[in-house]
């Protein structure tokens, strides 16, 4: 049997005015078009303009017509497998097929069950459309989708000159507006696109502080310009930039080494136990814009300092948990990494609780006193901290006394790390040799 053409086509925003000529030709020539109702309405208008009739196809009347109203991947595949009579099938998708589209998944699954030729036609994305409408280039924009997702975005906006976001879902727009205001980003320039390409199109531009929460409601696209974005390249910070109180803080030399020993990944979920001022939490969050950090602290002053530092550095990946570990960890999602800066005498219970949540969790412990080191070594001996590595950090900073520079030593700190996938297969083999 002659191979059929199956084409996944992006129709842009939805109006026939912004459909590429390639996709328009497909709509005119295909003997079967599949898509959600909005996509088919657009296709119907195009065919009507060219005097081409189409009939709605009911699923129980399969040989009638060429219009199949369906958006679910499994149902689309099922129909295509069952119906061999169509020679050219167009599957219509919103926007651009390479921009938060279902085209990738659909093509992969179709390829598994069909031997037919599968092609992809791009469309005009909401990003390129909105950027052109407001006269802004977007090659340097960071792209996020908050549509039905819980993601960090404040830090992204803080660290990039332009950020494009897709909003949608209940209260997503309000949350976006209120969160940016909370982190003192009211002066960023925002461009909001509603119903783009349709007659009801509405595009708003101005500073965030000039907008209302209602302006961001519903399915819309937002382009944020931040001319005062943070240009710092490194994640490590000096001690004096943090808001301090009477709560102990992990010093910069130990902090940077401890964070390095965590071997963070881009999607890490990290517990900072005994978070203090939040200095370690901040540096962990700055290591990746989508890293989640749970800063667990029992001291109320510490909780307030963490919140102040979180706001100062715009690290919205930090969630503050007020309470004593391990009890305060009970309802949290499983960690991939954990830093223990203070245990309040509950070290064993904390380690056991972490490993119960995730047996392969990567744990880094800071110990100052010999008693804590002894306790840690006891856990190592029991096998609770397998393959533990111990690093001692001793640092000294110069202090001017009259005409002299004297080195003032800090307390030596033991950094104990264990667990996690810390080595590649290649390096492991090399070490065996």
Is residue 262 within 8 Å of residue 421, measured between CB atoms?
no
Exposed e or buried b for every residue in 198-211, given b needs 16+ CB within 10 A? eeeeebbbeebeeb
Indicate whether 243 and 212 sit together in one domain. Answer: no
Residue 351 lies in a domain: yes
Looking at the structure, tell me whether residues 166 and 207 fall in a common domain. yes
* Same domain as 168, residue 39: no
Alpha helices in 114-195 (DSSP H): 126-134, 154-159, 172-182
- Listed as own residue / partner, the contacts of 63-71 with beta carbons closer than 8 Å and 24 or more positions apart are 66/30, 66/31, 66/32, 66/33, 67/33, 67/40, 67/43, 68/32, 68/33, 68/34, 68/35, 69/35, 69/36, 69/37, 69/40, 70/34, 70/35, 70/36, 71/35, 71/36
Is there a single domain that holds both residue 283 and residue 418? yes
Tokens coding 24: 């328009």
Q: Which phi and psi angles does 12 have, rounded to 5°?
A: 75, -150
Query: CB-based contacts of 34: which residues, under 8 Å, 6+ apart?
Result: 68, 70, 76, 79, 80, 89, 90, 91, 92
Q: Is residue 233 assigned to a domain?
A: no
- With H, G, I as helix, E, B as strand and everything else as coil, classify residue 261: helix
Residue 170 is predicted with a pLDDT of 82
**Closest among 350, 196, 345, 213 to 272, alpha carbons compared:** 350
**276 and 414 assigned to the same domain:** yes
Residues 386 and 257 in one domain: yes
Per-residue pLDDT for the chain (433 aa), expressed as one digit of tens each?
A: 467 899 999 999 877 788 999 999 999 889 899 999 888 988 888 888 766 555 444 443 344 448 899 989 999 999 988 888 888 999 999 999 999 898 999 999 998 888 788 999 999 999 999 999 999 999 999 999 987 677 899 999 999 999 999 998 788 999 999 999 999 999 999 999 999 998 899 999 999 999 999 999 988 999 999 999 999 888 899 999 999 999 989 999 999 999 999 999 999 999 999 999 999 999 999 999 999 999 999 999 999 999 999 999 999 999 999 999 999 999 999 999 999 999 999 999 999 999 999 999 999 999 999 999 999 999 999 999 988 999 999 888 888 888 888 888 788 999 999 998 644 333 333 333 3
Beta strands in 78-140 (DSSP E): 88-93, 117-121
Q: Considering the domain boundaries, does residue 398 fall inside one?
A: yes
Q: How far apart are CA 228 and CA 310, in angstroms?
A: 18
Number of neighbouring beta carbons within 10 Å of residue 356: 12
Asked, for residue 393, whether it belongs to a domain, the answer is: yes
The reply to whether 216 and 245 lie within a common domain is no
Question: CA dist 297 to 171, 255, 286, 300, Å?
Answer: 30, 17, 20, 8
Tokens 């912004």 — which residue?
18
CATH of the domain at 149: 3.30.950.10
Q: Look at residue 231 and tell me if it is in a domain.
A: no
Q: For residue 305, what are the domain limits?
A: 239-432
Residues paired with 193 in a beta bridge: 203, 221
Domain end (from 101, 124, 147):
124
Looking at the fold, whether 197 and 322 belong to one and the same domain comes out as: no
CA distance 47 to 29: 9
In SS3 terms, 314-340 reads as: CCCCEEEEECCCCHHHCCCCCCCEEEE
Residue 326: is the preceding peptide bond cis (ω within 30°)?
yes
140 in the same domain as 115: no
State the residue for tokens 């320039």: 189
Total domain count, the chain: 3
Helix, strand, or coil here: 204? strand
User: Does residue 34 lie within any of the structural domains?
Assistant: yes
Beta strand 404-409 with 396-401 is antiparallel
SS3 392: strand
**Beta-sheet pairing, 404-409 with 337-340:** unpaired
Which tokens is 240 given? Answer: 């004096």
Question: CA–CA distance from 139 to each of 164, 232, 353, 419 (Å)?
Answer: 11, 20, 45, 40
For residue 63, the model assigns a pLDDT of 40
Q: What is the DSSP string of 7-22?
A: EEEE-BTS-GGG--HH
H/E stretch holding 94 reads: none
CATH number, domain containing residue 66: 3.40.1010.10
Task: Indicate whether 97 belongs to any domain.
Answer: yes
Same domain, 304 and 406: yes
Order of all β-strands in the sheet with 202-207: 141-145, 162-167, 220-225, 189-194, 202-207
User: Which residues face 222 on adjacent strands?
Assistant: 165, 192
Element (DSSP H or E) covering residue 347: helix 347-357
**Whose CA is closest to 113, among 70, 68, 71, 82?**
82
Angle of the 370-381 helix axis to the 347-357 helix axis, nearest 10: 40
From 124, 155, 189, the end of a domain falls on 124
Residue 316 in any domain: the answer is yes
Q: Are residues 131 and 58 in the same domain?
A: no
**Amino acid 233: pLDDT:** 82
Q: Are residues 308 and 406 in the same domain?
A: yes
Phi, psi of 382 (to 5 degrees): -85, -5
Residue 194 buriedness (CB in 10 A; 0-12 / 13-18 / 19+): middle
Residue 291, domain CATH: 3.40.50.150
Record the tokens describing residue 102, joined without a space.
């279902």
Domain boundary at 104, 124, 144, which? 124
165, 145 contact by CB (below 8 A)? yes
């Amino acid at each position: 049997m002659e191979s059929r053409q199956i084409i996944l086509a992006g129709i842009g925003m939805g109006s026939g005015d912004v459909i590429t000529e390639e996709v328009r030709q497909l709509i005119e020539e295909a003997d079967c078009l599949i898509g959600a109702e909005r996509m088919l309405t657009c296709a119907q208008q195009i065919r009507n303009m060219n005097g081409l009739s189409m009939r709605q196809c009911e699923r129980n009347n399969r040989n009638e017509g060429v219009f199949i109203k369906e958006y679910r991947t499994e149902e689309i595949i099922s129909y295509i497998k069952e119906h061999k009579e169509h020679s050219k099938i167009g599957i219509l998708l919103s926007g651009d097929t390479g921009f938060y589209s279902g085209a990738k998944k659909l093509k992969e699954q179709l390829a598994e069950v069909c031997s037919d030729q599968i092609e992809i036609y791009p469309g005009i994305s909401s990003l390129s459309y909105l950027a052109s409408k407001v006269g802004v280039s977007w090659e340097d924009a960071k792209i996020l989708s908050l549509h039905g997702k819980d993601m960090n975005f404040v830090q992204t906006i803080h660290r990039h000159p332009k950020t494009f976001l897709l909003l949608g879902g209940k209260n997503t727009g309000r949350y976006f507006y209120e969160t940016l205001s909370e982190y003192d980003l009211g002066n960023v320039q925002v461009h909001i696109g509603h119903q783009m390409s349709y007659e009801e199109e509405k595009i708003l531009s101005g500073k965030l502080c000039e907008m209302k929460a209602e302006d961001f409601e519903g399915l819309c696209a937002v382009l944020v310009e931040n001319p005062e974005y943070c240009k710092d390249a490194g994640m490590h910070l000096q001690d004096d930039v943090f808001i301090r109180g009477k709560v102990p803080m992990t010093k910069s030399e130990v902090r940077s080494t401890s964070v390095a020993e965590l071997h963070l990944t881009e999607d890490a979920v990290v517990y900072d136990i005994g978070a203090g001022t939040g200095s370690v939490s901040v540096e962990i969050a700055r290591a990746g814009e989508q890293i989640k950090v749970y800063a667990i602290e029992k001291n109320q002053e510490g909780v307030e300092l963490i919140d102040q530092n979180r706001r100062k550095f715009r690290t919205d990946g930090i969630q503050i948990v007020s309470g004593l570990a391990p009890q305060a960890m009970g309802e949290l999602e499983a960690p991939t990494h954990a830093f223990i800066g203070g245990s309040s005498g509950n070290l064993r219970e904390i380690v056991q609780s972490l490993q119960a949540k995730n047996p392969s969790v990567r744990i880094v412990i800071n110990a100052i006193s010999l008693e804590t080191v002894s306790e840690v070594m006891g856990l190592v001996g029991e096998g609770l901290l397998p393959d533990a590595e111990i690093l001692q950090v001793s640092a000294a900073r110069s202090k001017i006394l009259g005409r002299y520079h004297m080195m003032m030593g800090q307390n030596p700190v033991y950094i104990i790390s264990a667990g996690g996938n810390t080595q590649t297969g290649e390096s492991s083999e090399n070490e065996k040799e």
